[in-house]
Each structure stands twice: as structure tokens, then as C-alpha cells.
Chains A and B, each alone.
Chain A
Amino acid sequence: MKDVRRVEWDEATEAIERCYELGWTDGLPVVPPTIERVQEFITYVDRSPDEVLGRIDERRREVSVAKAASNAVMAGCLPEYFPIVVAATEAMLDPTFNLIAPSSSQGGASLLVIVNGPVIGQLGINCKDNLFGPGNRANATIGRATRLIMMNACASIPGLFDRSIMGDPSKYTFCIGENEDESPWEPLHVDRGFAQEESTVTVFASWGPRQLRAANEPKVVLDVVADVASSLGTSLATSDSVSDHTIGVRQGQVVITFAGAGAFWNGWTKQAVKEYLHPRIGRSVADLKRVKVMEGAILTGDEDRRVNFVPEPDDILVIFAGSPEASGYRSSVILSELPKVASTAVTKAVRLP
């Protein structure tokens, strides 16, 4: 094993302090990454510790299985969670995700990690009540591991490469499963080309979730979702940092989660939901000119000219998750922190031993 350090402590609380002193934590205590514990994780996935999971060429760094394992141990993962952490690491180092953007941007993206497939049930990943909240070890530690990998192995340290102005609490951890068993639709990973029986991880550069409630009718729920997703002041509804200004805003992807009973959506396919939402997520040219996202005086007709915030219906990622006992009007909107041209969601298969 490379990069092994000898650290001194007598008691467990001292071990925690040593890790703080070494600068390895996210502000919360970590599990010391002892060589034995890290080896357990590497053995579980049956891969070489030196195998490179991905590179950040711009920072001249590469992330090995051993580095990912060390951070997963620190996060408090069990060895069984490590295949998901590995897949999430591969996904976030995929050039399409473009990690240098969400990990450094002033907008302060969190890393939404969406788990699909049989591994949800096998590992007890939460996809229901208290979906985004604390209490589930798998969700809490898998999400946390990805952030520690970003900080420690990818140098996304606040003040160094992480230039977030404000950030978001979901930067600590943001991992959810999809409630595939009770969903009225095909799950996200099937939409994205994987077989139902495969387990996958999807990563998405996000701002925190905006929870919604609406009246108890599907169309009303979608109208409220569209209204919230059309908020001014979001990354989608701005025009800077891109060279193409022909549309008016830079556009981006959106994740929508729907809780409640699957039967609420009778008569609505997932595609119908996406196609209903897509033209309704946007603002008028007049509104965008008022807040200086678009330049120029407001002209006759600008109140009626629409600018879409999402490029295509398939850029709306629909997840069925949250308490199934909720009324169907409980949903959330999770906007991308970046334009689609800078970062898009990436899905990778989980290799289980």
C-alpha cells in the first residue's frame, strides 16, 4: 500500500483529533483510515489498490482505489458500500460530468448521488421517508465519502480549489435511492440505458432540494413544479460564463423527485410528465430583461416570448422517491448548479463482487 503515514494516539478520541490536525475532515469527525480497515474495503471490491478510477488532468491528480477506500473508511462506510462509492467516483471523474466545474464553482454545487437497482434493497439505502435527511448509515456515509474524495483526493478544499461563495448543507452528504418497487414508472437508470436488474449510480451537480407542496391533482403538482423550477436567480436562468447567447439563458438539467403513492400518477407516463414540464420551465423575455439576464429594453411582445430553461425533456431527470404515504403533491426540485454545457449528469454501473 502506498502513501501510508505513521500517526500516534493512545485513545480513540485522540485518533479523531489527529485526523483533524492532518486536515483530512469535512469538519465532522472521521473514522481513522487504518491500513487494515482500508484493506478490507479494497479486498471487498477485489481490485488493485493502485488501479486509477479517474483523473483530473487540470489539477494533475489521479484517484486510485486505495485513495477512494481511505476516504470511504473515514466517511464511516461499511465495506459493502464501497462498490457504490467506486462507481460514484468513476462517474464524477467522467469528462462529461467535468468535476473541475462543480467542485470549484462559486455557485457551490453539492454532489447528488442517486442509487438505482437491486443494491438499494441489498444495502438498505433509503428511498422513502426522510429521503434527504439524516438517520440512514448507507445514505449518510456514501454521500459523505464522495465529498471527502473530492476534498482530499481531488483538492476541492474550501479556499483552494473550492471557491464556493456560500455552498449548501447538502455538500456534506446528498445520497438517495429511488423507490423503484412502488414507482409508477421505469426507474432512472432504465431511462438512461441500463437494464432494470443492474445497479447504478448517477451523479448530478446540484443546488440543494427545494421541497414543494401543491393541490392533490397531478397537473397542479406539475404546474407548481414548473413554477418553482422557473425561479429567477438560478444557474439555469442566467446567461454568463458561456459563449452562446442565442437562447438568452445558459440552460441546464433538473432533477425532480415525486413522493407519495404511485397510483397518484395514473394516466401519466414519465415521458408525458417530462413533455408537460419542459415548455413550462422558463420565463418571458421581459422578465429576463427586467433582471438584466438578457440585455436591452423591453419591447412589445417580450411579455409573451418564452425562453426555456431546460434544453430538452430528457434533461429533466424524474425520480420516484420520498415517503409513499405522503399525498401525491409532495415533490422536490433539484436544479443543476451549472449549465448543461459545463456539466451533465453521468450514470455508471456498480460492479458488485
Chain B
Amino acid sequence: MATEIGNQHLLVDPTTQPIVPTFEFAPRIQDLTNKSVGMIDDSKENAKELLEEIGNLLRERFGVQCVNYHAKPSASKPADPHVIQAMADDCDFVIVAIGS
């Protein structure tokens, strides 16, 4: 293959692009009564406090029955895949807090 044509040169692009898979959203819940919520705390400041308050409000105002809470060991590492799978299996919806 000609790699130079006149003053044009072929360069191997050093950058990458994200490869985003298609996915479908889970169906939205219409009624939270008796549902269970999973909460993932990213271990940054105020994430725990925020989730606690949200958990209280979900119970008091929306009848959520069960709160399943997990704090990541490190804010900088993804949540344990086993924790994520367990929440997906056991909870009706999940809330993640990113503290600051």
C-alpha cells in the first residue's frame, strides 16, 4: 500500500474510542410499596449520610420495606461484581451515591 502520496502521510491513530454495547433499561417500577432497595455507597464523604436520609424517606413516604446497603472498600475501585449481582437478584431497584 502506498504510505505517502505527495505530501500526505499515513499515521496510526494512537487514540481509542469507547466501545459501548447496546443495553435495555429494566422496566421502571410504578409503585414502591413493599419493594426492596439496594444502596451502594462509594465511600466518598457524605455518601453514607445521603443514602441514610434517602433510605428513611423511601421507607416513610413510599413504603419501601427493605434496604440493602453496601459501602465499597475503596471509592476508586469498581463495586465487587458479586455484590452487584446479589443486589440485582435481591433488590427491586438500586441507588448509588457518589460522595463529595
Contacts and interface: CB of A to CB of B under 8 A. Distances in A.
B43 A243 contact: yes
Chain A interface, DSSP helix/strand/loop, else mixed: mixed
Interface string A1-40: 1011111111000010000000010000000111110100
Contact of A148 (B14, B20, B73): B14
A303 to B, nearest CB: 28
Given A59-B18, A67-B16, A153-B14, A34 B74 contact: no
Contacts of A341: 73-74, 77
A89 interface: no
B14 A243 contact: no
Nearest to A19: B11
B85 to A, nearest CB: 15
A339 interface: yes
Interface string B7-30: 111111111111111000000000
A342 B13 contact: no
B28 to A, nearest CB: 25
Nearest to A10: B7
Given A59-B18, A240-B45, A4 B74 contact: no
A240 B75 CA distance: 9
A24 B3 CA distance: 20
A243 B76 contact: no
Contacts of A237: none
B12 A70 contact: yes
B73 A244 contact: yes
A226 interface: no
Contacts of A15: 9
Interface string A23-67: 010000000111110100000000000000000011111110011
Contacts of A149: 14
Given A4-B11, A343-B76, A36 B20 contact: no
A156 to B, nearest CB: 11
A35 B3 contact: yes
Nearest to A49: B12
B9 A74 contact: no
A34 B18 contact: no
Contact of A33 (B8, B11, B18, B78): B11
A152 B77 CA distance: 22
B67 interface: no
B72 interface: yes
Interface stretch (A98-106, A113-121, A213-221, A284-292): A98-106
24 contacts: A3-B13, A4-B13, A6-B8, A7-B8, A7-B11, A15-B9, A34-B11, A60-B19, A60-B20, A61-B18, A67-B12, A67-B14, A70-B11, A74-B14, A98-B76, A100-B78, A101-B76, A105-B76, A155-B16, A242-B73, A243-B73, A243-B74, A342-B77, A343-B76
Interface of A: 1, 3-10, 15, 24, 32-36, 38, 57-63, 66-67, 69-71, 73-74, 98, 100-101, 105, 148-149, 152-155, 240-244, 338-339, 341-343
Interface of B: 3, 7-21, 41, 43-45, 71-78
List the 6 closest A-B pairs by CB distance, nearest first: A101-B76, A60-B18, A243-B71, A342-B76, A70-B14, A241-B75
